[in-house]
Structure 1
Amino acid sequence: MAPVSNLMAEAQVSYDALRKELASPSADLAKCGALVSKLKLTLVQMNYLTLTGPQKPATPALALVRDILETAALYAVRVKDVDNFERYVAQLKTYYAVLRHELPESPRMYLVLGLNLLHLLAQGRIAAFHTEIELIDIEQLTANVYIKHSCDVERCLMEGSYNKLWNARRNAPAEEYHFFMEVLMTTIREEIAKCFASAYVDFPVQDAVTMLHLENAQAVAVFAKEHNWTIKDGKIGFRSSDDKTDEIPAQAIINNALSYTRELERIV
């Protein structure tokens, strides 16, 4: 095995190449993936991923490993690799918590932590979200743009303010947030669709455009086909009226939401 100093120099070169490529507007994600794999192998050879060696690495080495893990986490989001994103975040927690007084604060720490919060919300893991919030300095909940965005999203979810959630998607503080926001929006859209199907025999297509936050009637048609719904005379058909059960609560929710949305549109 090469001396640790040589491996560290090799890791620095690969890391610089990875960060440069990932920051490119036309990033070659396959190349980034190869660099991430190479870096992981190098860190394993140095026993720097688990920090279980006889001697803890020096501060510059620790900072480099942290930077590599952060970049790998952001790469995982770019390629929609949720499992590896979770692994990198778990490893980074050692650097953010246990080693926080031995290293200068990472400028990307709150970006990663905010992404993790949003990831937990997208998976419906609300209890885990609140556990993670407890580990973050309280002033950052409102002062830091990355943390605040995820907290605002959670608040909208609890309030059922789905229009605000769609605005939060457009106002994401970093490109990487879009992936988890899309996952969350898809989940919400499916929940609204369930309300439609349980509350109505049919539903106007144009109202569905508004409620599902789809671009147009054509997008609704695609969505309807995916759910085995029918469209006729400008209305989505769900099922026979003979199958209808107690539907008042869902109808009330949808009608209130539609009225609220239309009122907002008139105000704007």
Structure 2
Amino acid sequence: MSLASSFSSLQSSFDSNDLASVGQQLPAIKVLLTQHNLLYPSGSSNSEQDLIVARSILEIGAFYSIRSAKIPAFERYMAQLDAFYSTPLLPPSPSHPTLLSLHLLSLLSTSRTSAFHTLLETLPVQLLSADGVREIIELERGLMEGSYNKVWRMAKGLMDKDGGKGLGGLAELLVGSIRNEISLSFLTSYTSLPIPSAQQLLFLPSPSEVVAFAQKKGWTISPSSQTIFFPTPSALGGAGVGAAAESGGMKGLIEESLGYARELEAIV
């Protein structure tokens, strides 16, 4: 099968959101790219149209990887695409800002803040202000400030308007990381918390999900008083105490968040 017909079939599967078919076709079409010397943009041997097709194939591979929660594969595609995005041989790709925002969010959601800032430093000004990219930069600022209410609202917005791009899954992964950080601070800040307070602090949609989260952490739950009891420092052991102590500075943040939640309740 020719490169053109293979690309047409891949594009059709991608447009219909048939991820299984996309995943099956990608290995063979990447072999074709290698055979046509199209894995790297070279103006000496390839036409502009061939290079645009190659770039589009790699972009589909990147979208497929992130939608399939294959972050390492996604990052390999982005590394390959970097040469296509930086070459003067090709016009800008309309998919570049979206994939860039996904790349930035994948770094945040896996706690690679240094790599996030390194990538930002390499970007031209017009990309920093592009839709999607600007939102992820604001999200990171919220994280650095410890403004978890702001981060949650922005992450929720990304989940709601995802449209199958993969942003929602990464945003949920980021929120999961934040929940774990907050839960560690509970161990040094409180001996117990009412389930409704824990629900607000952990950004969980229902009390039942708070209970499931607490059970996974091994916390004690009192159904009669609707209260979660946390392990004492002696019960945590040496490593647990150390991990929890690192989050002890968040006590003020938690108290502030609880006050904020109570004020919201009073307004409602």
TM-score bin (small chain): 0.7 to 0.9
Provide Cα deviations, 1:5-24, integer angstroms capped at 9, x if missing partner: xx6xx223222332332232
Separation (CA, whole Å) in 2 of partners of 1:250 and 1:136: 33
Instruction: Identify which range, 205-214 or 126-135, moves more after superposition.
Output: 126-135
Separation (CA, whole Å) in 1 of partners of 2:233 and 2:178: 26
Query: Are the aligned partners of 2:199 and 2:207 in contact in 1 as well (CA < 8 Å)?
Result: yes
2:65 maps to what in 1? 76
Separation (CA, whole Å) in 2 of partners of 1:241 and 1:63: 59
1:211 maps to what in 2? 201
Quote the RMSD (CA, aligned, Å).
Answer: 2.4
User: Compared with structure 1, are the counterparts of its residues 64 and 72 closer, same or farther at alpha carbon in structure 2 (3 Å cutoff)?
Assistant: same
Query: Are the aligned partners of 2:40 and 2:84 in contact in 1 as well (CA < 8 Å)?
Result: no
Q: How does 1:182-201 map to 2 (within 5 A)?
A: 182-201=172-191
User: Compared with structure 1, are the counterparts of its residues 170 and 12 closer, same or farther at alpha carbon in structure 2 (3 Å cutoff)?
Assistant: farther
2:125 maps to what in 1? 138
2:106 maps to what in 1? 119
Deviation at 1:51, TM superposition (A): 5.4
Q: Does 1:239 align with 2:214?
A: no
Q: Does 1:161 align with 2:147?
A: yes
Q: Does 1:148 align with 2:143?
A: no
Query: Are the aligned partners of 2:52 and 2:90 in contact in 1 as well (CA < 8 Å)?
Result: yes
Please report the TM-score for the alignment, with normalisation by the length of structure 2: 0.86
Deviation at 1:69, TM superposition (A): 0.6
SS in 2 for 1:231: strand
SS in 2 for 1:171: helix
Separation (CA, whole Å) in 2 of partners of 1:140 and 1:267: 40
Deviation at 1:28, TM superposition (A): 2.8
Q: How does 1:1-268 map to 2 (within 5 A)?
A: 10-24=2-16, 27-50=17-40, 55-97=44-86, 99=87, 101-142=88-129, 144-172=130-158, 174=162, 175-232=165-222, 233-240=225-232, 249-264=249-264, 266=266
SS in 1 for 2:218: coil
Deviation at 1:140, TM superposition (A): 3.4
Separation (CA, whole Å) in 1 of partners of 2:113 and 2:265: 31
1:4 maps to what in 2? none
Separation (CA, whole Å) in 1 of partners of 2:176 and 2:109: 9
Deviation at 1:243, TM superposition (A): 6.0
Q: How many residues align?
A: 254
User: Compared with structure 1, are the counterparts of its residues 226 and 102 closer, same or farther at alpha carbon in structure 2 (3 Å cutoff)?
Assistant: same
Separation (CA, whole Å) in 2 of partners of 1:242 and 1:37: 53
User: Compared with structure 1, are the counterparts of its residues 225 and 60 closer, same or farther at alpha carbon in structure 2 (3 Å cutoff)?
Assistant: same
Separation (CA, whole Å) in 2 of partners of 1:146 and 1:76: 19
Give the % identical residues. 33
Please report the TM-score for the alignment, with normalisation by the length of structure 1: 0.86
Deviation at 1:265, TM superposition (A): 5.4
SS in 2 for 1:145: coil
SS in 2 for 1:128: helix
Separation (CA, whole Å) in 2 of partners of 1:216 and 1:105: 44
- Unpaired segments ≥5 residues, structure 1: 1-6
User: Compared with structure 1, are the counterparts of its residues 141 and 50 closer, same or farther at alpha carbon in structure 2 (3 Å cutoff)?
Assistant: closer
Query: Are the aligned partners of 2:188 and 2:248 in contact in 1 as well (CA < 8 Å)?
Result: no
Instruction: Identify which range, 169-178 or 182-191, moves more after superposition.
Output: 169-178
- Unpaired segments ≥5 residues, structure 2: none
Q: Which amino acid counterpart does residue 23 of structure 1 have in structure 2?
A: D
